Amino acid sequence: MRFHNIVVLTGAGISAESGIKTFRDHNGLWENHRIEDVATPEGYARDPALVQQFYNQRRAQLLDPKLKPNTAHLALAQFEQQHKAQGGTFLLITQNVDNLHQRAGSEHVIAMHGQLQKVKCPWSGKNQSWLKDVTVTDLCHCCKIPQPLRPDIVWFGEMPYQMDECTAALMQADLFISIGTSGQVYPAAGFVQIAAQAGAHTVELNMEATRGDFSEGYYGPAAKTVPAYLA
Ligand code: BJW
């Protein structure tokens, strides 16, 4: 690979062929749930039990033994190893809250929208692993006054994680690859511009072309386009 500093951004489309629903596609998660109800701090304040139920259902899918990383996740993990062995740098920024990249063996991963299998204290922000159902009566005891544990998910209006690290890597990138994301949610949707302004070659691998301004694009299922592009 002629590139040295590589940043990859992934979205729900990369996990579609593992059986995880995307958000905005036909039959996606937002067809049956109102964003305002389940993915905002205001929705959670109104009805925490509904929000916990929504995330408990999605956590249950992570525990399904049939759920596996697909060839796109695996190709990225293998590529990271090869690229680093050749002296390059590699950062995988995922908007996904499943843990399929980590399961595939990816190492340098930022889960910018949080992780389904974690819960956090709403006061201190400290997170902890949790794979069983969370109820509104489950409390965190890390602060003086126990707090109800909330999903460790970045909702609309909240600041995504590790933004400084993401921006620094994008400014150094000579290749930026966006995979399986509709590019409708900021700040991730603006990453292509940051990388392009820093001089990176920008590539989109998605089911269909988005509004993002990429140097080149390859369209089809990620399980095919990702291994093919990285080969
Ligand atoms: C395949 C495929 C296959 C399918 N193979 N491909 C007005 C203007 C601009 C911004 C704003 C605005 N008003 C508000 C904002 C900010 C807001 C925002 O962007 N809103 C937009 C809706 C306009 N953003 C925020 O609030 C964020 N925080 C923030 O901005 O903080 C302030 C800040 C300031 C300055 C710097 C930094 C920060 C927080 C956003 C949190 C997003 N959270 C969610 C929900 C998490 C909860 C949960 O998981 O339940 O994260 S929203 C949801 O969308 C989820 C995803 O990570 C995110 C992106 O979705 P994604 O991954 O792109 O999925 P889809 O379904 O949209 O697309 C799938 C794609 O795959 C499609 O293109 C398919 O074609 C493709 N595909 N099958 C390959 N087999």
Ligand 1 atom closest to Cα of residue 30: 66
pLDDT band of residue 200 (cuts 50, 70, 90) is: very high
Report percent pLDDT > 90 for the chain.
86
Q: What's the pLDDT score for residue 140?
A: 87
Ligand 1 atom closest to Cα of residue 23: 66
| Distance in angstroms (rounded) separating the CA atoms of residues 73 and 215 | 23
State yes or no: is 113 an active-site residue.
yes
pLDDT higher than threshold 80 for residue 1: no
Bond into 65 cis (ω within 30): no
- Tell me, yes or no, whether 146 lies in a domain: no
Q: How far is CA 122 from CA 44, 150, 164, 198, in A?
A: 11, 6, 22, 36
Catalytic residue among 33, 113, 141, 201: 113
The CB of 221 under 6 Å from ligand 1? The reply is yes
The CB of 158 under 6 Å from ligand 1? The reply is yes
pLDDT tens for 133-165 read 888 888 988 888 888 899 999 999 999 999 999
Ligand 1 atom closest to Cα of residue 157: 26
- Tell me, yes or no, whether 179 lies in a domain: yes
Choose one of 44, 101, 181, 185 to mutate for the ligand 1 pocket test, by most ligand atoms within 8 angstroms of C-beta: 185
ipTM value: 0.96
Report percent pLDDT > 70 for the chain.
100
Q: What's the pLDDT score for residue 135?
A: 83
- Tell me, yes or no, whether 193 lies in a domain: yes
- Tell me, yes or no, whether 102 lies in a domain: yes
Q: What's the pLDDT score for residue 42?
A: 97
C-alpha of residue 147 to centroid of ligand 1, in Å: 28
- Tell me, yes or no, whether 83 lies in a domain: yes
- Tell me, yes or no, whether 123 lies in a domain: no
C-alpha of residue 21 to centroid of ligand 1, in Å: 14
The CB of 212 under 6 Å from ligand 1? The reply is no
How many domains in the chain? 1
* 82 vs 145 pLDDT, higher one: 82
- Tell me, yes or no, whether 189 lies in a domain: yes
| Residues 108 and 90 sit within 8 Å (Cβ to Cβ) | yes
Taking all residues of the chain, what is their mean pLDDT, rounded to a whole number? 95
Domain of residue 190: give its range. Answer: 5-20+69-113+160-230
- Tell me, yes or no, whether 81 lies in a domain: yes
Q: What's the pLDDT score for residue 132?
A: 79
The CB of 95 under 6 Å from ligand 1? The reply is yes
pLDDT higher than threshold 90 for residue 191: yes
Ligand 1 atom closest to Cα of residue 22: 66
| Distance in angstroms (rounded) separating the CA atoms of residues 39 and 32 | 13
Q: What's the pLDDT score for residue 44?
A: 95
The CB of 225 under 6 Å from ligand 1? The reply is no
What is the average per-residue pLDDT within 181-190? Answer: 98
pLDDT tens for 92-124 read 999 999 999 999 999 999 999 999 999 999 999
The CB of 213 under 6 Å from ligand 1? The reply is no
Q: What's the pLDDT score for residue 28?
A: 92
Instruction: Indicate which CATH number applies to the domain containing 214.
Output: 3.40.50.1220
pLDDT tens for 23-69 read 999 889 998 889 999 999 999 999 999 999 999 999 999 989 999 99
Q: What's the pLDDT score for residue 164?
A: 98
